[in-house]
Structure 1
Amino acid sequence: MLRKSKSPYLRDVYLAYLIDGAGRTETDGFPIIEEWMVSTEPPKEIIQWDRRCDVTNPSETGMSFYCNDPAFQPILGNPKAYTEKLRKYGLIIGVDASPYDNMPLWVQKSQIGLNLGITYYYGSQGIKVIPNVRLGDNRTLSSLEAYPHHTLIAIGTNGFIKRTDNRYIFAEQVQKIVDTLEPTGICVYGPVPDEIFAYVRLKGIPIYQYDSYTMKENAKDRERRFSQGDKDERK
């Protein structure tokens, strides 16, 4: 016969353990990323989670989540189970569950809250992080209260700036991020077009640019086509 537990079983469906001990923002109650959690140095390379097999030197790598959300869904559902797997990397870039601007506001804020909660948790476990600043529409600007000032931050641009109208919105948000957080540097995963980052350069803030996996593959394709064309000309 099974013994009945004296304490009730509690299922942590909200993953409340992620933000145990965290300060909260005044506007939305988001967990606040602490300055001591943030790496003071940018990584030598940034790799996205679904290409982690490409990592050659984990201690010099920043592991990011700049890939389709399903690729890191298991981490979103059970962050604790991945703590030791992520600890081997030099640092992690904050989680990047997508708060698209066409989502209802509550969904955007929920996604941002999940990003912040998991990033805070890994930081509290002694893993160095660089906060990934990811906004939805302009109604989510209050989430900037959750990020430390005068530290490194990360921004992913890959896939977000193909459309002209998106570039204008992105540029405006980058300016607001810079004015609010006054970062010591920005790690950018993807292209750094001047129409988006001119203000950052004007402010004298260092930009550390990392080619995305897509950019690397496109470069390989161009090189292969060039090599093939050169061979054809020699025939």
Structure 2
Amino acid sequence: MTELFQVLSLHSDIEKLSRYRAVLSPDFSMYLEMAPVMQLYNVFRNRWCGAYWASKGIRVVPTVNWGDDSTFDFCFEGIEKGSVVAVSTYMASEHDNRCDQKEWFMAGYNELLRRIEPARIICYNTPFPEMQGNIIYVDHERSSWKYMNYERSFQKDDLEAFKIGGAYQKPCDTIEPYLIGKGGGSAYGGEIKPAKPEDE
């Protein structure tokens, strides 16, 4: 009975995902403190889900995540050169005292540019000014599940179908959030660095 439920649930998930023009492969965590075997396993799970969804006729954009430079030998594997990819600055940005992790993020991001040479980069959360490439910004605030609607259908054949407005002024596209995760950097964050002097 459990197997039947899992098959029915999987079929339902595929049906829901197939209503979108494209989906991102899951962003399984690659925390710096993780054992290397867990980091490797999470890269495997990311690529497996993407490959499985693609085998069901779903257009998949691979989400790329990394740990420190010791993960560079496997975290970019299985992604075609010149692909559209997705990344997240969420765990390297200033939320939860993690603003000290930008250097870690940029080292992996620059390696991604060198190894994959992506055609476009979907960036969940505000891109850093130093980020190079053809970036499509995804507004973190609008990525809440409360905005999800599985009944939508998109008629256009390109990313224009997902464009939204926003206050962010970097000269790059924006894309509506859909099936985006997050997880990288240190799970513990960094030193507390108040955003305003009055918060000290």
Give your verdict on TM over 0.5: yes
Tell me whether 1:208 sits opposite 2:127 in the alignment: no
Matched residues, percent identical? 24
1:84-134 Cα distance to aligned partner (Å, 9 max, x none): 121111110111111211111111111111111111110111100111011
Match of 1:104 in 2: 35
Larger Rg: 1
Tell me whether 1:170 sits opposite 2:105 in the alignment: yes
Unaligned runs of 5+ in 2: 145-165, 167-200
8 Å Cα contact 2:68/2:108 also seen in 1 = no
Runs of 4+ in 1 over 3 A off after TM superposition: 78-81
Tell me whether 1:125 sits opposite 2:125 in the alignment: no
**Inter-partner Cα distance in structure 2 for 1:215 and 1:129:** 18
Unaligned runs of 5+ in 1: 1-10, 12-74, 220-235
CA RMSD of aligned residues (A): 2.6
- CA-CA distance at 1:79 after TM superposition: 5.3
- CA-CA distance at 1:213 after TM superposition: 2.4
Match of 1:113 in 2: 44
181 and 79 in structure 1: CA distance in 2 versus 1, 3 angstrom threshold: farther
**Inter-partner Cα distance in structure 2 for 1:139 and 1:124:** 31
**Inter-partner Cα distance in structure 2 for 1:141 and 1:191:** 23
TM-score, normalising length: structure 2: 0.61
Match of 1:152 in 2: 84
**Inter-partner Cα distance in structure 2 for 1:119 and 1:171:** 24
8 Å Cα contact 2:92/2:100 also seen in 1 = no
How many residues were matched structurally?
A: 136
Tell me whether 1:139 sits opposite 2:70 in the alignment: yes
Match of 2:152 in 1: none
**Inter-partner Cα distance in structure 2 for 1:192 and 1:151:** 19
- CA-CA distance at 1:181 after TM superposition: 0.4
**Inter-partner Cα distance in structure 1 for 2:128 and 2:105:** 11
Match of 2:187 in 1: none
**Inter-partner Cα distance in structure 1 for 2:37 and 2:91:** 24
